[in-house]
Copies of this chain bind each other. A is one copy, B any other.
């Protein structure tokens, strides 16, 4: 068998959570798409929330890797920030990443078990950490203005969250919206602008 049934299940779940959101994604839909029995889900993942957690973490891990790669190859801090944002936005519109899982489902609302939520929160922290490092690097090599790394990182990530939601959830995003957003970020951190 090319992929195990467990993998097929996880992929089907990622697809459906991203397409339909948490509540509209039913065990039946997942089982049908993965072509396995319904009971296999609780067998492998325990329950719906744990399955969602597995999906979310899977996406976040790939995301984290992409962001790390993008920043580590940058020649300076400012470029690292740019690369981070670019990688973020690219990832968010690449259908193969199942990014929508994290947009259509809310780790903060759909996960009722606080232990599971904490795992997710921890993973998100790592995403922030990559950007914080990039900003610190920029401060050291003087490629960006003097800003507070943590505050700035969270604002930039928030901007990414916002523009991404605007693009994938609403009809308001104009052409070249992502490019503009990248400009906006760089403008805000470039020395001489503060």
A142: CB under 8 A from chain B? no
> In the complex where A23-B23, A194-B187 touch, is A162 in contact with B172 (Cβ < 8 A)?
no
Docked Cα-Cα span, A124 to B154, in Å, equals 25
A180: CB under 8 A from chain B? yes
A155: CB under 8 A from chain B? yes
A158 close to B155 (CB less than 8 A): no
Residue of B nearest to A185 (CB): B188
Docked Cα-Cα span, A188 to B22, in Å, equals 36
A→B interface (CB under 8 Å): 21-24, 104, 106, 108-109, 121, 124-125, 128, 148, 150-152, 154-155, 157-163, 165-166, 169-174, 176-177, 180-181, 184, 187-188, 192-194
B165 close to A161 (CB less than 8 A): yes
B170 close to A151 (CB less than 8 A): no
B184 close to A188 (CB less than 8 A): yes
A21 close to B109 (CB less than 8 A): yes
Residue of B nearest to A171 (CB): B121
> In the complex where A158-B163, A162-B162 touch, is A172 in contact with B125 (Cβ < 8 A)?
yes
